[in-house]
Chain A
Amino acid sequence: MKKISLLFALALGVIGGSSFINTDDGGLGKTMPSVMLENLEGDQINSADLENGGNPIIVSFWATWCKPCRLELNTIMDDFEELQDSTGVKLVAVSIDDERNKSKVKPVVEAESWDYEIWLDSNSDLKRAMGVNYPPQTFVLNGEGKIVYSHVGFVPGDEEDLFDIVKELHEKQTQAVE
């Protein structure tokens, strides 16, 4: 029994290890997994249906009690209007707040005046499916819905890299169209 478990672990290790090597670029080329969630209006949505008419999308995992998460979303908000005008980007903020804090998500979003799309992942289904350990973790999807960038944690200044990536994606997109 132990041997077989070990074998199983080994197999997993090899698969995991090889995928780790292949995806050192941050998981390039993956798409959004299909998980059923709710948005702030209480409507059911499927995460795999996420799209933005060929424009880039930022997906950011956060929680009301997570200070760096709120710092990140606030910092992005300061320049979001400008970024949205120039690139057409959309930001989905996925709250992993559980039942204790879920009812606070809407008031927090409104009080912070965030213009983001909010998803509620109250039992962490999407968090698990996307391999997120702890928030904040931020992903960028290109116009085709492929994940092209992902970053764990937030410190001031990280938003500049994020903006650069979104702008770069937008430029590529416009060049491709031309």
Chain B
Amino acid sequence: MKKIILGFFGFASFCSFAQLGQGGNVTGNIESNVQYLNTDTLIGATAPDQRVVANSYMNINYTVGKFRAGARFESYSPSIAGYPGFYSGNGLPYKYFQYAGDKITVTLGNFYEQFGSGLIFRSYEERALGLDNAMEGASIRFSPIRGVDLKGFIGRQRVNFVDGQRLNSDGLVRGVDGSLNLNQIIPAFSDSKFKISIAGSLVSRYQATSNDTLIVPKNVGSYGGRIDMKYSRFYLNAEYIHKDNDPNEQNNWIYNSGHGAIVNMGYSQKGLGIILTAKSLDNMTFRSDRTVIGNQAFINYLPATSNNHTYNLAGTLYPYATNLNGEVAYQLDVLYKIPKKSKLGGKYGTYLHLNVSLATDFKRDTEGADWQKNRISYLAQPFAMTDSIFNFDFNFHIKHKFNKKWKASAHYYHFIYNNDVNEVTKLAKHYITSDIAVVDVSYKISRKHSIRAEFQALVTKKDRGNWATAVIEYTISPKWFFTVMDQYNYGHPNEDLRIHYLLGAFGYTHNNSRFMFMYGKQREGILCVGGVCRPVPATNGLTFTFTQAF
């Protein structure tokens, strides 16, 4: 209560101060998603009793000189289809005050922050998934000289939003991170072709005992380092994080320590890029509350090692997300542009992209483990793979611009998905193998008018069988777009369920305002952003989206 009053007066006086002075900058945005839902038993869509559901957000940042303050208003009345149902009501779960000087930045209230690759700490918002683990507390960033960057924070994490009230984690999270860019720090090294920076971080959680039968550590620490090197066209960056024993609901209350390692190696020059990524994770879920499972209360971030597919059939039926218990994964990307004005490249060049990724279970050695005395269930070595495949993904893309008017691209995907490990469908067991082909053609009719068509096909012997999708999109720059999409499940083993999912949409953009109306059927699928996925239910109805930036 006191906090809110203080916050209110603080903000109000800040604003009036801002208005007395030379204005200041207001930035922010509004987003509103409203759905009117029908029940459609054939596709499995169930309308809630209210029929109309809505999610709305408004962000405001106010900057005057070195001071900044802001807040976000959120409203779920009730939340839209497939959104985490526990978000409810209206309120202000995010507010902050910040001083950003030349060398020092201090933030009080709510903040987002990331150390290194996020393997040790990342608080972020992914609104489409209903993920928000913003911190509440204090954070400081200090850069005494160029190339030295020190960060520290303390606070609790947002884990829920119920009846308009932000609920924070039971555990308190603290952390420090320091990074040194040696080329920026050492003058003699500044023009060197060899670039190197090193960093280290430490994050710990305090949570009082919450388990009656086991003695769990109240403080759990996690620490590690990272290195970033470049030489001419080659680069290599790596991070290794160790987590102390952290018995929790996710790992079945074992006392094993955990590790996370990510290595990226690459070569790039104009027209060519090659990257190899390797990742090893074991028992690395680190949450601000040891009793929580699911997608909430993550202190760290475990990125998926695969391409983010944007075409509908490739992106939403059998998408891969990081296995939370651990995995070993590799990924290779080769990007090449056949030069302009060459025989194969044509006038504008031809863009090629090959991506292959593989994720498997990691090897557990139970022989040397100490279960009886210390509840350590296995030992694991980094990057020790097994032949139990979690996911295999091969995809190839070719993109070509023929002339000022015609452009086309073709895409092929081959997936092997382990449905036993991460279940996306009840209709299949073990491995689901699928092949997908996509052709995308666009034609610019005139300066303002363009038309685009997209054809996709997915072939599989399992689950719901084969799919075909067609999309036609007509745009009038800079204001209008119209789209019709049909997804047809023509290969469903049950003939009654060979359904067309027809969807129409149009939108209007005026500078920073955007409206969109969408009407029709949407099949159930998986929505993934950044390797975190959420099932989206089938819907039938009208969706209205409004976004405004200011």
Complex formed: what's the CA distance from A160 to B353 in Å? 29
| CA of A119 to CA of B275, assembled, Å | 19
User: How near does chain B come to A132, taking the closest CB pair, in angstroms?
Assistant: 6
Q: Does residue A172 face the partner (Cβ distance < 8 Å to B)?
A: no
Q: Check A16–B509 contact: CB distance below 8 A.
A: no
Bound together, the chains give a CA A107 to CA B277 distance in angstroms of: 13
Q: Select one of A67, A100, A111, A123 contacting B303, CB under 8 A.
A: A100
B1 touches A134 (CB 8 A): no
Q: Point out the residue from B27, B266, B348 that lies within 8 Å of A33, measured CB to CB.
A: B27
Q: A12-B58, A67-B310, A157-B477 are in contact. Are A42 and B195 (CB under 8 A)?
A: yes
Per-position 1/0 for B57-85, Cβ under 8 A of A: 01111110010100101000000000000
A8-B8, A44-B184 given; A113·B550 CB < 8 A: no
Tell which of B413-421, B446-454, B463-471 binds the partner.
B446-454
Q: Which residues of B contact A1 (CB under 8 A)?
A: 1, 4
Tell me which residues across on chain B come within 8 A of A137, comparing CB atoms. Answer: 512, 549
B270 touches A152 (CB 8 A): no
Measured CB to CB, the closest approach of chain B to A1, in angstroms, equals: 5
- Residues of chain B from 207 to 261 with CB closer than 8 A to chain A in the complex: 228, 230, 235, 237
Contact B237 A112 (CB under 8 A): no
With CB as the reference atom, state the residue of chain A lying closest to B75: A9
Known A-B contacts A112-B337, A123-B122, A132-B549; the reply to A152 vs B63 at CB < 8 A is: no
**CA–CA, A103 and B30, complex, Å:** 31
B205 CB–A CB distance under 8 Å = no
For residue B164, CB closer than 8 A to chain A, the reply is: yes
Q: Which residue of B lies closest to A63 (CB)?
A: B308
Interface check B11, CB cutoff 8 A: yes
* Structural contact, A150 and B511, CB atoms closer than 8 A: yes
Once the chains bind, are B25 and A16 in contact (CB under 8 Å)? no
Q: Please list the residues of chain B having a beta carbon within 8 angstroms of any beta carbon in chain A.
A: 1, 4-5, 7-8, 11-12, 15, 25-31, 58-63, 66, 68, 71, 73, 90-92, 100, 105, 112-114, 117-119, 122, 124-125, 141, 143, 146-147, 149, 164, 181, 183-184, 195, 197, 228, 230, 235, 237, 262, 264, 266, 268-275, 277, 301, 303-305, 308, 310, 333, 335-337, 348-349, 351, 353, 442, 444, 447-450, 475-478, 481, 509, 511-514, 530-531, 547-550
Kindly list chain B residues whose C-beta atoms are within 8 Å of the C-beta of A150: 511-512, 549
A11 to B113: give the CA distance in the assembly, Å. Answer: 27
A123 touches B113 (CB 8 A): yes
Beyond A107-B274, A133-B547, whether A31 also contacts B25 by CB under 8 A is: yes
Whether the Cβ atoms of A153 and B27 lie closer than 8 Å is: no
A27/B550 in contact, CB under 8 A: yes
Nearest-neighbour CB distance to chain B for A71, whole angstroms, equals: 9
Q: How close is A89's CB to chain B, nearest CB, in angstroms?
A: 19
> Which 4 pairs across A and B sit closest by C-beta, in order of nearness?
A107-B273, A157-B477, A111-B335, A155-B475
Chain B nearest CB, measured from A47 CB (Å): 11
Q: Which of B15, B29, B264 contacts A132 (CB 8 A)?
A: B29
Nearest CB on A from B471, distance (A): 12
For residue B92, give the distance in angstroms from its CB to the closest CB of chain A.
6
Known: A15-B15, A112-B351. A4 touches B4 (CB 8 A): yes
CB-based contact B27/A99 at 8 Å: no
What are 17 contact pairs spanning A and B, CB under 8 A? Answer: A1-B4, A15-B60, A16-B28, A33-B27, A78-B348, A99-B122, A100-B308, A100-B530, A103-B237, A110-B271, A110-B273, A111-B351, A150-B549, A151-B511, A152-B512, A156-B477, A157-B475
Chain A residues with Cβ below 8 Å from B184 are: 43-44
CA–CA, A11 and B509, complex, Å: 28
B381 to chain A, nearest CB (A): 24
Given the complex of chains A and B, what is the CA–CA distance between A11 and B27 in angstroms?
A: 16
Contact of B477 with A128 in the complex, beta carbons under 8 Å: no
Q: Assuming A12-B58, A19-B26, A113-B271, what are 9 further A-B pairs, CB within 8 angstroms?
A: A11-B12, A13-B73, A16-B28, A103-B275, A131-B550, A151-B509, A152-B547, A153-B509, A157-B444
Judging by beta carbons under 8 Å apart, are A133 and B337 in contact?
no
Given contacts A11-B12, A12-B73, A110-B271, contact A152 B549 (CB under 8 A): yes
Q: Which residue, of A16, A125, A149, A155, has the highest number of chain B Cβ atoms within 10 A? A: A155
Instruction: Choose among A5, A41, A66, A107 the residue that contacts B266 (Cβ–Cβ < 8 A).
Output: A107
A160 to chain B, nearest CB (A): 6
Contact between A108 and B335, CB atoms less than 8 A apart: yes
A positions within 8 Å CB-CB of B: 1-2, 4-5, 7-9, 11-13, 15-16, 19-20, 23-27, 30-31, 33-34, 36, 41-44, 64-67, 78, 98-104, 106-108, 110-113, 122-125, 128-134, 137, 149-153, 155-158, 160-161
Interface centre among B26, B266, B274 (most CB of A within 10 A): B26
Residues of chain A with a CB closer than 8 A to B550's CB: 16, 19-20, 23, 27, 131
Q: Is the CB of B475 within 8 A of A8?
A: no
A54 CB to nearest chain B CB (Å): 21
Which residues of B are found within 8 Å of A104, using beta-carbon distances? 273, 275, 333
Smallest CB–CB gap between A159 and chain B, Å?
8
In contact, A107 and B118 (Cβ under 8 angstroms): no
B143 contact from A36, A65, A100, Cβ within 8 A: A36
CB neighbours of A157 from chain B (8 A): 444, 447-450, 475-478
Q: A51 to B125, alpha carbons, bound, how many Å?
A: 30
Contact check, B114 vs A111: say whether CB atoms are below 8 A apart. Answer: no
- Asked if B273 contacts A106 (CB within 8 A), the reply is yes
Assess the B141–A5 pair: CB atoms within 8 A: no
Contacts of A149 in B (CB 8 A): 511
Q: Decide: A65 near B511, CB < 8 A? Known: A5-B91, A99-B117.
A: no
- Tell me how far the C-beta of B101 lies from the nearest C-beta in chain A, rounded to whole angstroms: 9
CB-CB under 8 A from A131, the residues of chain B are 27-29, 59, 61, 549-550
Q: Is B8 within 8 A of A4, CB to CB?
A: yes
Closest Cβ–Cβ distance, residue B204 to chain A (whole Å)? 20
Distance in Å from the Cβ of B490 to the closest Cβ of chain A?
26
Q: Is the pair B71, A12 in contact by a Cβ cutoff of 8 Å?
A: yes
A106 to B235, Cβ gap below 8 A? yes
